[in-house]
Structure 1
Amino acid sequence: MDAHGASSRAARVCLVSGEAGIGKTRLLREFASRLDDRVRVLTGECLELGAEGLPYAPFLAVIRQLIREHGVAAITRTLPGDGPYALASWLPAIGEPLSGVDAELGRIRLFGEVLALLEGLATQRPLVLVLEDLHWADPSSRALLGFLAGSLTAPDVLIVGSFRSTDVEGAHPLCELVIRLTRDPAVTSISLRRLSVHEVGRQLAAIHNREPDPHRITQVYQRSDGNPLFVEALSTAEPGDPVPLRSLLLSGVDDLSEAAGLVLRHAAVAGNQVGHRLLSAVLPLADTEAESAIRALADRHLLVITEDGYRFRHALIRDAVYERLLPGERIRLHRGFAETLRDHPDAVPAERLPAELAAHWHAAENVEEALAHAWRAARVAATAYAYDEQQRMLELVLDLWPRAKDPAARLGVDRDAVVELAATACVHSGDFTRGDELVSALLEPAVDDPDGAGDPERVAALLELRGVLRNRHNTSGLPDIEAALALLPSDEPTRLRGRLLAALAHTRISVRDLAEVREPATEAVRIARLHDDPGTLAKALAALGVAEGLETGVDAAEPVFAEATELTQRLGDHPTLMSISQWHGNVLVNGGQFRKAATAIRRGIAAAERLGLIHSRGPALSISLGFALEQLGDWPEAAKVYRDGLSWTAAPLYRIGLLRGLGGIAIATGELDEAQLLATEIDALVDAANTAPTWRVEQATYRFRLAMAREEHDEAETIMRRLLDDFAVVSNSTSGWYVLSLAADLRSRRSSADAGWRRELLALAEPLTIPGRFEAAHRAGFLAAVDHEDPSGWRSAATLWRELEAPHQLGWCLVGLAEALRASGQAAEAIRARGQAADSPPRASGQAADALLRTSGQATDALLRTSGQASDAPLRTSGQAADALLRGRGQAADVPLRARGQASDAPLREAATIAAKLGARPLAERVARLAAQVGIAVGEAPQANPGPGRGLTAREVDVLRLLAKGLSNRQIAGELFISVSTAGVHVSRILAKLEVASRGEAAALAHREQWFG
């Protein structure tokens, strides 16, 4: 609808089509509400009895609206001549009706007067004429619409007509008009489609002003088929509640023939779809009678004929029919389906048979049969990776359990085993909260009476399961895993102990306690091999691969991951396979192999979608993939990946990581207001989620980066001080070198900083290892920042980041190199000046500078020797740099001023190119400032965004785009995965920057300037 705003200067027609409930009326209302106040909107609705009732019904409604609001004179002033008028035949209040002309001429006069009225009104102010429900339009109204569409020439007139596409098919009288109109280039069409599952989630979020549960989204999507009206009806209804729209949906049912009604009721009992063989077998009708009834239902658009059966046009139509059934009738029909399936098991696909039998026997109130078939259906679902279905069937078993006769004997398991299995299904379905509830109920006896709780191994196994569930939810599962291990003798290498040790290693990876992973993983591998336990071995190897990768390097991790992958594939252990995909990708990232990491993680995401694990594993994989893409400089794709991850989960742990990824991109592109808003959301999630300390390290580094970008150095210093005071946690999270590089950058920029900061940072760095190229690059950046006026350190760091294909990090190193070259040139110039003023060379000052730089170089050299990397480290000592710098006035001391500029030229130009390509505004601005100081032209900094300008950030452009589509703050928040308050802040800033007073003015400006096409 945006393309047809009132600012348009050409008359046109827009046809809006879609099925019932798709949102046509809502769209037209929203469109009208956003128009400028000076636009006149007239609305006429066609009546359902229009084909045989009042002619010109929608236009008559428009004339009445005009008279009611502005009087008869407002109409007659726009009509040609002094009357009489053909329009008076509609409403005598207009004057004497036209007489003495034949019907055809009278019709021509009438149509001409309506045309003149619309064009005359449009000369006063822009006009939008809305005609709703054209599928019910009478023949005269259709003819008048066709005339107006072909005759309107005046500017500032828009006719918008809506019709139900499912009704306008075949011989429907509106079909011909629609076909004819759409051939006219001045007529455009908008066909509204059903919502995707993602869009259903956004609608639910807007309705409830909060993020809905992903499983609830799926449930509503399946029942509503993506119809917005039905989504809204279901949004407040509990599963199984009568649908509020029943009377609307049943409007075409009441006058069906007895046979058609019988078929419809049987189809409703079958579900949303039913195969022809099953329906034929269960119906008490002859084939010809059944076929005639089905054809009548299809003609009324109640049923749709499919390749092998029939389905309801909407799931809610089926629900409405089903809810009308009498209790006894419903039981009888379900029993009939169950018996038919029992006698004809080939009437449905084999994999569906247990679930269908369970559902029908349950509805028929046969508890024993329902219990048995629900148990079988759960097993079938598990083999098909349908974990949501497995959980649902097990919940049905638990619901039936108290009413069944000796259910344990019938199924061969006790109730606790079923509860545990249901909780395990929750791990894979992503319903962590429900899983926690189930296991906690089993653990209540142990909590109430630890000494009398029974078998410690049983309690330990339940604690393990709850620990896994809690760890997935918010990383709070470590105490449960440790408590489980404490229940077992440490000197007995049992299978359960091996499994728990593997779980402990996995949990420590999740909470970023990575320095403590190797020991439990190694012991778990030993115990698993001892007992020939391939399941535990695969999990333990996956964790050990992480330890090898982070402590030794990618080459050491590869064979470990390969063995773990082979085992999981052979065992069909899909969740562990997902963990391997993620962790292998992380290890590859740490090894600097970002492209290979992205490829590996993408395979994991594809597998998660295929295996039905996308809600439980997709978000974590998205965090890892987004990070790899960030390093490669593919920020638009990384942002898309993060947003996809947000659409899959409401779990706070994952949302923190995904929002932090988006925030990091915002900082890098200079969208600091957006980054601040995201920081506020992240802080709230971290505080509420009880996250592990290592996750708070990442929160703190994000806050530090934001403070530095805002040049709030005091705030950055406070954050960094806390990080350095708790450096043991930092180093355990593998963020040691990264945090030290941030600290060195901050301290080197603060001229008033304590001169002892170098010693403090070097002391903290001494015990850190350098297992991979990513860490090595961060270490090189740290050392370069420590000796920030030494170009050799920056050259080494730049070389490493270049090899890793990490353009943003490379760009900042090139800036550091240019600044160091400038500083070196200034020092040399000072020495040369002193040399010209004295007869002797500046030996004393040179020796002092040499000694100072050599001291720093020795510290660096000692650090490299400690890490075991001194022999092959790419860095040259600062002492060597000092030698080159101070080797006499004829060399470094005589470097002219112009040479300094030339030395800085290449790195600055390359950094400028990188910044422009990435859209990294802070980097570009830093380059521009330095280039101006040394007299180098490197071009202008990139604009903050490619959108409408006017100071809008990239995120504000995104918000404006949605605002221009008529979305509310809640809807905008849902689309962009931000809070409603954040969306409101963005809108307020947009209005201020565009210097407009309302959302409507902002939208109109966007359309007028064609910012979004």
Structure 2
Amino acid sequence: MYWTADQLAVVDDALDAARAGVPTVLLVEGDAGMGKSSLLDELVDRAVGFVVATSDGVESSAVPIPYGVLHDWGIDIGDGTLGDDATARATSELIWALDRIGADQPVLWLLDDVQWADPESVAALRSLVRRLVGTPLLVALGRRTPSPGSPDVEDLVRPRSRQRRVRLQGLTVEDATRLVCSTHPHIGAAAAVELWRHTGGNPLYLSSLLDEFDSDELDGLQGELPAPRAFTAAVARKLARLSTRAGDILGATVVLSASWSAVPDVAVVADQAAPFEALQELVDADLVHVRLSGHLSVRPAHALVGAAVRQLMPLPPRRQLHRRAASVRSGAEALDHRVAAADGYDDVLAHEASRHAATLYAQGAHRQSAHYFRVARDLTQEPAARRALDLESRWSDVLSAHAGNADPMIDPSGPQDAAAASVAALHLVRDGDIVAATRRLDHLDDDALQRAAPITRYRIHLLTAYTRLVGGQSTARVVEALEALDRTEVRDPALATMESPTRGFVAARLDGDGGAIPTTLAQLPANPMDVPEPMLGLLGWRAVYRVHSLQVREAAGDLEAMIDRAIGRRDASPLQSQLALAQWYAGDWGSAGVAQGLSDNSPSKHWSPDIGGALLNSAWGRFDDADTQLREAAAAVRRAPWPEGRLQVMVARVARVHAAGRQPAEVATLAADYHDLAQMLEVVSAADGSIVLHAGLLAHWSGRPGVAHACADLMERALQPSRSHRALTLWLRGLLASRTPGAEAIDLLRSAADDHQQELPLYRAHMWADLGEALLPSSPSEAQQARRQALQIYQALGASPYEERLTRLVAPCGPELTSSPASASVYLPALTERERAVLALLTKGLSYQQIAGQLFVTRSAVAFHLSNLYAKFGVRSRHDLTAYVLANPAALRAS
């Protein structure tokens, strides 16, 4: 094969980058037969010193097996990775594999024909290589173009500088002439050019013709050469020269699998007792490849060979081969062959396929279950059964993260089709269109619902409860749907992540911080590491409850334990956004920034608008970034306008306005957006300490003292107050009292600021600052002392906008108050986002393995980052680095 110097340079560059510790992706693209596989073979030959593992996507009507590519690479995923946490668990397996096999050598993972690969493997690869730094890994992919519906590999790595690409567009006339002359030295130049023109420069087509004809025949074919699409005819001519037994073996090889098959299995399917002579004929004709390692195996030499053989094979013998193949396979593979052998409707086989689909659905394998529901649909003739199976397949498609080209938004036969309504509503919910989903569900009448199957009624009632809640309808309307849900007496495990928070928020509205929720949470051990595995969901609720009730240190402990326990088993990114909130309130802003960077901000999640980034950027004075994040959060709650979501965004907006100095125009805009604040507060309780506090601040600023007093009363009535509640309530009452001159406001604000029990350092600084403002007319010296207290806290936190404003108002009383730590003589090097994350976790005492697990990187990547950190900070040990950062927390602040 002839490669250009530029193409080989790209291959070598990718290998060199991986050797140097830069995780790299090489994408080789081209039409069928353009030489992708040959160039990847050349890559393997040049990968001297690499540990190499290879796999091939398989063109097949069957659904690709989840994690089949990873299995080919020797990475055992197992059935336990099915479900919502599959990608996280598979990514962990990839990381552990890299740590195991790549400790001393670079690693090459090669996947040819990625357009046919299972999307789960590609998703795990994407999750891995986006995070990796400092790991000698090359992922090489071959992709046929065009490849609609194939897994997306365009954004496999970021930044794009880590991706190399080779596009194969066929041989030039010069390359083709050299190839022709090297195999047929006596052929004329005109015939060589004619061969190039007729094959379009396709290396595989050209090589096939050169193998098929001798020089005289090629010279004599001028004007009559086969066109490139005649590859199938070329395969047919090859087969005509071989024995019948060889043709039978090739047919059995193609039917049995497009990948490797054991030769004894091929012999049984071909009905050949002694297959080896026939197999050798096929090897000599370059129609199959044989693998000698392990059990003797065979596969078609190229995907095009398999396609050509399938086209040439009449249907009756092809079905007979599938029947025999079913006898040497088991499970889903046997079922696939029996389906391929079917020559008409078969209700027994349809029932078996449907039952297999249901089993896969229960395991969380929604993409596969959708496929087998469609198989069952196509095997049955009865219209009602076909429609029911079709709807089940579409439901599974919507649940799957890899729905492909399936269109779940069907046009139902009538407006009263409950199953169709459930599919359409789920699709709308997944798209974030809560209003349209609610409308679709509300158009379904009771008679249609009663005629539906119990599982459909369950889905309808749950979707109704969910969309009513996040759509901002009354609690009574949500409860009505939940009561109907309970009467169905069935459950769909795929909707557990929707049902649990729906019930939880309704319980919080009805019970507040009364007996039910605390009693339920009291079942849990105090130490989150002692919580049994089946109760981790309840631990998650305790953590969220603690965050929003401002028990922030306990909340951070719960969340950190859950994240640590999730490493390698489930996706912890949704927990990170809650951890970021807890750490922000607790003043651990460096760690909060790391958690925020690791959080999952998927627009399909309607529960907790992402406000962590806006809170951090507001407090750091990065108002443009904060405003961008707030616009995104506000857009999300417009799509799902449930009161709690709107109020959580209000919290971040209040913090943003406060950090910017409470500009009148900004306060007025915020007050107008929450003109219905009093009505919205009817759904919250004293347990929602964060919301109640910020609602009270907004009400105070916007001249609604009645609402503000109600908020203070609500906080004071909390049955399980946080250690910060007393100070926060006093602060809010002090602000309200400051509307009229007198000692009451000063006494309240002083009591709030002096309360050492509180755990929210930023808010304590606000209390000192407000005390200084109240003291200024009557006692300027005391006002200065209060402001100095506030300034010290702002400086320690790195709350730049507060620090800048207050510095101008505080009379100098020592050098520590004239400049912040970041602007003094402390050396604070610029860090990358990943270095800052490693540094934050290191200072919390985590091991290399724990850091690698939380960041989804290899241990070698952690070592790489630490070596860079040692160099940047000029230290030699982990102890010295940790001590430096603890003394200078501004080092963790994003630059």
Rate the CA distance shift 1:824–1:375 in 2: closer, same or farther, 3 A. Answer: closer
How far apart, in 1, do the equivalents of 2:427 and 2:443 lie? 15
Contact preservation (8 Å) 2:326, 2:335:
no
Correspondences of 1:136-147 after superposition (within 5 Å): none
Determine which of 747, 762, 780 is the counterpart of 2:709.
Answer: 762
Rate the CA distance shift 1:463–1:765 in 2: closer, same or farther, 3 A. Answer: farther
What is the Cα deviation at residue 725 of structure 1? 0.9
2:335 alignment partner AA:
P
TM-score when normalising by structure 2 = 0.54
What is the Cα deviation at residue 419 of structure 1? 3.2
1:675 alignment partner AA:
A
Matched, 1:718 2:668: yes
Q: State the secondary structure of the residue aligned to 1:721.
A: helix
Contact preservation (8 Å) 1:667, 1:709:
yes
How far apart, in 2, do the equivalents of 1:675 and 1:445 lie? 47
Q: State the secondary structure of the residue aligned to 2:371.
A: helix
Determine the structure 2 residue equivalent to 1:589: 547
Correspondences of 1:183-262 after superposition (within 5 Å): 193=109, 218=123, 229-231=141-143, 233=145, 236=148
Deviates more, 1:508-517 or 1:531-540: 531-540
Q: State the secondary structure of the residue aligned to 1:325.
A: helix
2:374 alignment partner AA:
E
What is the Cα deviation at residue 389 of structure 1? 0.7
1:441 alignment partner AA:
D
Determine the structure 2 residue equivalent to 1:866: none
Determine the structure 1 residue equivalent to 2:765: 815
How far apart, in 2, do the equivalents of 1:435 and 1:787 lie? 62
Question: For residues 384-428 of structure 1, what are the alpha-carbon distances to aligned partners after superposition, in whole Å with 9 as ceiling and x for unaligned?
Answer: 321111012223444x25xx5x356xxxx7123213423442454
Matched, 1:324 2:308: yes
Determine which of 414, 429, 434 is the counterpart of 1:445.
Answer: 414
How far apart, in 1, do the equivalents of 2:277 and 2:519 lie? 64
Contact preservation (8 Å) 1:488, 1:497:
no
Determine the structure 2 residue equivalent to 1:674: 625
Determine the structure 2 residue equivalent to 1:790: 746
Q: State the secondary structure of the residue aligned to 1:441.
A: coil
How far apart, in 1, do the equivalents of 2:389 and 2:469 lie? 30
Rate the CA distance shift 1:708–1:427 in 2: closer, same or farther, 3 A. Answer: same
Determine the structure 2 residue equivalent to 1:54: none
Determine which of 319, 323, 326 is the counterpart of 1:339.
Answer: 323
Contact preservation (8 Å) 2:696, 2:712:
no
Larger Rg: 1
Determine which of 616, 620, 623 is the counterpart of 1:665.
Answer: 616
Determine the structure 1 residue equivalent to 2:132: none
Determine the structure 2 residue equivalent to 1:388: 367
How far apart, in 2, do the equivalents of 1:229 and 1:680 lie? 38
Determine the structure 1 residue equivalent to 2:387: 416
Matched, 1:546 2:505: yes
1:478 alignment partner AA:
T
Contact preservation (8 Å) 1:656, 1:685:
no
How far apart, in 2, do the equivalents of 1:945 and 1:229 lie? 50
What is the Cα deviation at residue 673 of structure 1? 3.6
How far apart, in 2, do the equivalents of 1:189 and 1:164 lie? 6
How far apart, in 2, do the equivalents of 1:739 and 1:635 lie? 20
What is the Cα deviation at residue 339 of structure 1? 1.6
How far apart, in 1, do the equivalents of 2:593 and 2:296 lie? 43
Rate the CA distance shift 1:167–1:272 in 2: closer, same or farther, 3 A. Answer: closer
How far apart, in 2, do the equivalents of 1:797 and 1:317 lie? 78
How far apart, in 2, do the equivalents of 1:498 and 1:797 lie? 52
Contact preservation (8 Å) 1:377, 1:390:
yes
Determine which of 514, 517, 520 is the counterpart of 1:557.
Answer: 517
Determine the structure 2 residue equivalent to 1:379: 358
Matched, 1:289 2:276: yes
Contact preservation (8 Å) 2:455, 2:492:
no
User: Higher relative contact order by CA 8 Å / sep ≥ 6: 1 or 2?
Assistant: 2
Q: State the secondary structure of the residue aligned to 1:342.
A: helix
Q: State the secondary structure of the residue aligned to 2:766.
A: helix
How far apart, in 2, do the equivalents of 1:354 and 1:267 lie? 18
What is the Cα deviation at residue 946 of structure 1? 14
Determine the structure 2 residue equivalent to 1:727: 677
Determine the structure 1 residue equivalent to 2:820: 941
Q: State the secondary structure of the residue aligned to 2:393.
A: helix
Q: State the secondary structure of the residue aligned to 2:392.
A: helix
How far apart, in 2, do the equivalents of 1:814 and 1:693 lie? 28
How far apart, in 2, do the equivalents of 1:337 and 1:627 lie? 61
Rate the CA distance shift 1:478–1:757 in 2: closer, same or farther, 3 A. Answer: same
Question: For residues 607-657 of structure 1, what are the alpha-carbon distances to aligned partners after superposition, in whole Å with 9 as ceiling and x for unaligned?
Answer: 9x76xxx7xxx876665555455545566666666666658x5xx343996
What is the Cα deviation at residue 322 of structure 1? 2.9
2:312 alignment partner AA:
G
| Percent pairwise identity | 15
Correspondences of 1:688-767 after superposition (within 5 Å): 689=639, 695-696=645-646, 698-699=648-649, 702=652, 705-711=655-661, 713-728=663-678, 730-731=680-681, 734=684, 738=690, 741-742=693-694, 756-759=703-706, 761-762=708-709
Contact preservation (8 Å) 1:485, 1:500:
no
2:480 alignment partner AA:
P
Rate the CA distance shift 1:535–1:371 in 2: closer, same or farther, 3 A. Answer: closer
Q: CA RMSD in A?
A: 6.6
How far apart, in 2, do the equivalents of 1:597 and 1:722 lie? 37
Question: For residues 705-727 of structure 1, what are the alpha-carbon distances to aligned partners after superposition, in whole Å with 9 as ceiling and x for unaligned?
Answer: 44554457244223322233121
Unaligned regions of 5+ residues in structure 2, if any?
A: 1-12, 29-36, 55-103, 130-136, 153-166, 171-201, 212-237, 525-533, 739-744, 838-854, 856-893
2:820 alignment partner AA:
A
Unaligned regions of 5+ residues in structure 1, if any?
A: 1-11, 28-47, 51-131, 138-160, 169-187, 205-212, 447-452, 454-458, 565-573, 804-809, 831-896, 959-975, 977-1011
How far apart, in 2, do the equivalents of 1:319 and 1:508 lie? 51
Contact preservation (8 Å) 1:375, 1:394:
yes
Q: State the secondary structure of the residue aligned to 1:339.
A: helix
Q: State the secondary structure of the residue aligned to 1:425.
A: helix
Q: State the secondary structure of the residue aligned to 1:419.
A: helix
What is the Cα deviation at residue 239 of structure 1? 9.1
What is the Cα deviation at residue 465 of structure 1? 5.6
Rate the CA distance shift 1:484–1:759 in 2: closer, same or farther, 3 A. Answer: same
How far apart, in 2, do the equivalents of 1:630 and 1:905 lie? 22
How far apart, in 1, do the equivalents of 2:823 and 2:335 lie? 58
Rate the CA distance shift 1:900–1:668 in 2: closer, same or farther, 3 A. Answer: closer
Correspondences of 1:464-613 after superposition (within 5 Å): 466-474=424-432, 475-476=434-435, 477-484=437-444, 503-511=463-471, 515-516=475-476, 519-520=479-480, 523=483, 528=487, 543-549=502-508, 551-553=511-513, 556-557=516-517, 585-591=543-549, 592=551, 593-595=554-556, 597-598=558-559, 602=563
Rate the CA distance shift 1:659–1:907 in 2: closer, same or farther, 3 A. Answer: closer
What is the Cα deviation at residue 587 of structure 1? 3.0
What is the Cα deviation at residue 557 of structure 1? 1.9
Determine the structure 1 residue equivalent to 2:335: 354
Q: State the secondary structure of the residue aligned to 1:790.
A: helix
What is the Cα deviation at residue 284 of structure 1? 5.7
Deviates more, 1:332-341 or 1:732-741: 732-741
TM-score when normalising by structure 1 = 0.49
Contact preservation (8 Å) 1:713, 1:746:
no
Q: State the secondary structure of the residue aligned to 1:445.
A: coil
How far apart, in 2, do the equivalents of 1:910 and 1:460 lie? 59
How far apart, in 2, do the equivalents of 1:24 and 1:904 lie? 55
Rate the CA distance shift 1:396–1:294 in 2: closer, same or farther, 3 A. Answer: farther
More helix by share: 1
Contact preservation (8 Å) 2:795, 2:803:
yes
Contact preservation (8 Å) 1:135, 1:163:
no
